[in-house]
Structure 1
Amino acid sequence: MEIDDNLSQCLIEASVFQFPSALRRLFATMLIFCEPGNVHKLWDDHYASLSEDYRTQYGCAERVQNMVLIDIRFFLESMSKKLSDYDLPNVSPHIDLQSRGYHEVQEEYSINVEYEDLHTRDSLNLDQKWSRWTWKDILYKALLANIRACGLIALATATSSVATNNIPRGRTAHSLFGIPLNLDNNLMCKITKQSGKDQTFHKEKVIIWDEAAMAKRHAVEAVDRTMQDITDEKLPIFVYLITCPFHTLIKLNQWTL
């Protein structure tokens, strides 16, 4: 069918510039809005591109296929569709995907990395051309994009809601960490163990907290205390990265900058 040929060509062209996570989103969008005649053939023809990132991380072919299908299922369900509505393989129930089934974790894995953000690192050595504010934003975008492009989770937050607009998928610290509104000594954040948010913090490789110096001391201590609890760490979680005019807190988890 001509429409299938056009969709196939679109996926081929997109694979040159887009990461597999973006291709999976595009594939799901095609299923919903373009109604290809032979879904299984489209899947077979482009599975290599759809699964490229997972194949480099995992040796089990069945696990890789499960992860690709679950990503596509997530996008379909966001549009009130189901994986079973289409001629696609079934998710193997005996393959353990651990926290991948959590909605919050799935959302983080599925973030679409912008091409411009990924390549902003090429401009980092030219910081004299920008104000300190702009340099900071470029640094954050480059760091987040390059980690997410590797199929890893990078979380970004800021103390003020205004600052979150300058960070890709930025959220306020109160929203991300569940910081209590009424702060006091020894308080913990509202994160339940074995919840989706708990599993997200177990999987993330970096957390950037912009404008951390603007947060109340009890808020930072509550976050640090909570992170130690859910990750079973006994040392302070965050380290400082100095970016004028505000300090930024960075949490690294087995990640080399």
Structure 2
Amino acid sequence: MTEAGTIQSPARLKNLFVILLLACGPSNSEKLWESYQESLTEDILIQARRENPGLVLNYTPDMLNQTLIILEDKALTMAGKYIKHLGLPTPQRILGDRLTREILRETSYGLNDLNKYISRNEPLLLPDQRTAYNAILDRINRNTGGIIFLDAPDGTAKTFVINLLLAKIRQQSKIAIAVASSGIAATLLHGGRTAYSTLKLSLNLTQCETPLCNISKGTGEAKVLQECKLIVWDECTMAHKQALEALDRTLQDLRGNGKLMGGAVLLLAGDFHHALPVIPKGAMADELKACLKASYLWRHVHKLELKTNMRVHLQGDAATGRFAQQLLSLGNGKIAADPTTGLITIPNNFCNIVESIETLQTSVFPDIRRCFNDHKWLCERAILALKNDSLNAINLQIQQQLPRVDVSYKSIDTVVDIDQAIQYPIEFLNSLEPPAMPPHSLVPKVGSPIMLLRNLDAPRLCNGTRLCVKNLIPHVIEATILTGCAKGEDVFISRIPMVPNDMPFQFKRLQFPVRLAFAMSINKAQGQSLKVAPINLGAPCFSHGQLYVACSRVGTGKNLYVFAPDGKTRNIVYRTTLQ
């Protein structure tokens, strides 16, 4: 906090302070508040002095209380927690303020801005988009409720149609909730948040036979769900079927309505060519069992389709059209595989086949020593790969070309059960690199792209958000957001404790929740669009939809570079999910 306070505004300090409270669990939160309450309240004092130029003002209890209210609002938004549960004093609020806050968040949209957005974009709808748009609005206007699935392959302007629907409902002073299965997808929706945080879904859905959302009657969240007309759930194919069933039970209970989804309209949007729910150490049968199509609710789903590829429609280019058709053939598993090896041969006219990883690197990051300061250039490109070990090597090789000096940050690793300390020494813990965890030794440079590995402040800072390092301080990294709704904003990232959930024992790593992002995993790339996308297929794909997701990050084959031994790789497609 001291380091950050010397270079940043009180508003950004408040964000950092709440993240520290939520993620780090300081031993004495109240003392931490007392030490920095004036730094956190400085902007409120300055504003008061501007409004009262004839008065000599200093910090007052009302100003500090206003800061506590802001901190609590942030904590509630990020994690649904009151600051009294985090060790801070309870701010004095007006009765019912909490309820009002939830409603305000879903209704505070400027009518003039909505009118302009709708009048500007409604005429742009293509015939298949307008058909889906009108069908969904008709279902909402007739109050018939139900579940709609918008089947939208990559490039069909799904996000454009969804945002227009959200604006149309909000224009009528009605509530439309926008959620997504991933933080990255949520940043693309107007007012979007992650499904698990908004709907208070359990992280262990499979451990309960009939799970519910953790939302109680009488709360602000319940009031929003009772009054909403539309719930949009983007990238729904990544969600576990139990999440959909939990939402149905909760809506019926809160709305006192036994109809499907309690009479509300739920719009599921996605593409079953993409990755399915992640089942740790699960087989194909486990993924299919967890898929939405395996739910008893799926038989009630009304399906709508978007078919027009906007990249082809706008460019009118034969090569782009051919690439879109080949991409669908790839996603549908129609490219024949060798019956002996199970590998497909990547068509030469589909992309640029390269002979080495080094060529792959130079194709995406040419002249990086000169261009790395250009944030637009940097966020348009990334190498995609399947496994962390290849990602780490590529990231370090490319970063070595940057002219800056690297800074080393070492993690503090400890076992959760102190009785296991002898069995798992610190040197062994330091050597571990579990999935979705930062390395023990993090060595970034100023100018390096990094990727966030945790949801810190959705939708600004989500798991998968890419940033560019601006300043490296001993206890804080200052970075500029490259993607999402807060693109261009400078933020602070601190060390937080993280516990991997797929280890035979529990250990805690205190480290910055980031990795270098010159290269990223294919799963992390889902939901992100790139201008140039090289793919390292030195190791073959091992899960449904991985090859399709990787190749569909770009709109044309001329910007797709693939390294695969002998030009062959495995393409895993679960055909039953596409039926």
**TM-score, L = length of structure 2:** 0.25
Partner Cα separation in structure 2 for residue 34 and residue 126 of structure 1: 54
Cα distance, 1:103–1:239 mapped onto 2, change above 3 Å: closer
Cα distance, 1:193–1:164 mapped onto 2, change above 3 Å: same
Mapped pair 1:167 → 2:167: no
Q: What is the identity, as a one-letter code, of the residue corresponding to 1:105?
A: I
Partner Cα separation in structure 2 for residue 33 and residue 204 of structure 1: 41
- 1:216 equivalent in structure 2: 240
1:48-59 alignment, distance < 5 Å: none
- 1:189 equivalent in structure 2: 213
State which of 234, 250, 275 in structure 2 corresponds to 1:226.
250
1:112-151 alignment, distance < 5 Å: 112=110, 114-115=113-114, 117-118=117-118, 119-125=120-126, 132-133=154-155, 135-151=157-173
How many Å apart are 1:103 and its aligned residue?
A: 1.3
Cα distance, 1:148–1:195 mapped onto 2, change above 3 Å: same
Cα distance, 1:185–1:133 mapped onto 2, change above 3 Å: farther
| DSSP-derived class of the 1:102 partner | helix
Q: What is the identity, as a one-letter code, of the residue corresponding to 2:179?
A: T
Structure 2: stretches of 5+ with no match in the other structure: 1-46, 52-68, 71-95, 130-152, 273-291, 298-579
CA offsets, 1:117-149, max 9 Å, x none?
Answer: 423222112679xx8545211111111111112
Cα distance, 1:195–1:210 mapped onto 2, change above 3 Å: same
Partner Cα separation in structure 2 for residue 209 and residue 134 of structure 1: 17
Partner Cα separation in structure 2 for residue 147 and residue 192 of structure 1: 26
Partner Cα separation in structure 2 for residue 180 and residue 243 of structure 1: 21
Identical positions, percent = 33
| DSSP-derived class of the 1:201 partner | helix
State which of 271, 279, 282 in structure 2 corresponds to 1:245.
271
Q: What is the identity, as a one-letter code, of the residue corresponding to 2:104?
A: Q
- 2:107 equivalent in structure 1: 109
How many Å apart are 1:33 and its aligned residue?
A: 11
Q: Is the Cα–Cα contact under 8 Å of residues 120 and 141 in structure 1 kept in the other structure?
A: no
State which of 174, 193, 213 in structure 2 corresponds to 1:152.
174
Q: Is the Cα–Cα contact under 8 Å of residues 164 and 172 in structure 1 kept in the other structure?
A: yes
Cα distance, 1:188–1:106 mapped onto 2, change above 3 Å: same
Cα distance, 1:135–1:104 mapped onto 2, change above 3 Å: same
Partner Cα separation in structure 2 for residue 101 and residue 218 of structure 1: 28
Cα distance, 1:33–1:170 mapped onto 2, change above 3 Å: farther
How many Å apart are 1:229 and its aligned residue?
A: 0.7
Q: CA RMSD in A?
A: 3.7
Cα distance, 1:177–1:240 mapped onto 2, change above 3 Å: closer
Q: Is the Cα–Cα contact under 8 Å of residues 117 and 145 in structure 1 kept in the other structure?
A: yes
1:61-76 alignment, distance < 5 Å: none
How many Å apart are 1:169 and its aligned residue?
A: 0.7
Paired positions, count: 160
How many Å apart are 1:217 and its aligned residue?
A: 0.9
Partner Cα separation in structure 2 for residue 32 and residue 148 of structure 1: 34
CA offsets, 1:76-102, max 9 Å, x none?
Answer: x97xxxxxxxxxxxxxxxxxxx99952
| DSSP-derived class of the 1:200 partner | helix
Q: Is the Cα–Cα contact under 8 Å of residues 99 and 105 in structure 1 kept in the other structure?
A: no
How many Å apart are 1:205 and its aligned residue?
A: 1.5
| DSSP-derived class of the 2:260 partner | coil
How many Å apart are 1:239 and its aligned residue?
A: 6.0
* Structure having the larger proportion of residues in helix: 1
Q: Is the Cα–Cα contact under 8 Å of residues 99 and 199 in structure 1 kept in the other structure?
A: no
| DSSP-derived class of the 2:126 partner | helix
Partner Cα separation in structure 2 for residue 156 and residue 141 of structure 1: 9
Q: What is the identity, as a one-letter code, of the residue corresponding to 1:123?
A: L
1:15-94 alignment, distance < 5 Å: none
Partner Cα separation in structure 2 for residue 234 and residue 99 of structure 1: 30
Q: Is the Cα–Cα contact under 8 Å of residues 121 and 138 in structure 1 kept in the other structure?
A: no
Structure 1: stretches of 5+ with no match in the other structure: 1-30, 36-76, 79-97, 250-257
Q: What is the identity, as a one-letter code, of the residue corresponding to 1:233?
A: N
Q: What is the identity, as a one-letter code, of the residue corresponding to 1:168?
A: H
Partner Cα separation in structure 2 for residue 188 and residue 244 of structure 1: 23
**Greater Cα radius of gyration, structure 1 or 2:** 2
Partner Cα separation in structure 1 for residue 160 and residue 49 of structure 2: 35
Q: What is the identity, as a one-letter code, of the residue corresponding to 2:238?
A: M
Cα distance, 1:103–1:242 mapped onto 2, change above 3 Å: closer
How many Å apart are 1:173 and its aligned residue?
A: 0.7
1:202-213 alignment, distance < 5 Å: 202-213=226-237
**TM-score, L = length of structure 1:** 0.52
* Structure having the larger proportion of residues in strand: 2
Cα distance, 1:32–1:223 mapped onto 2, change above 3 Å: farther
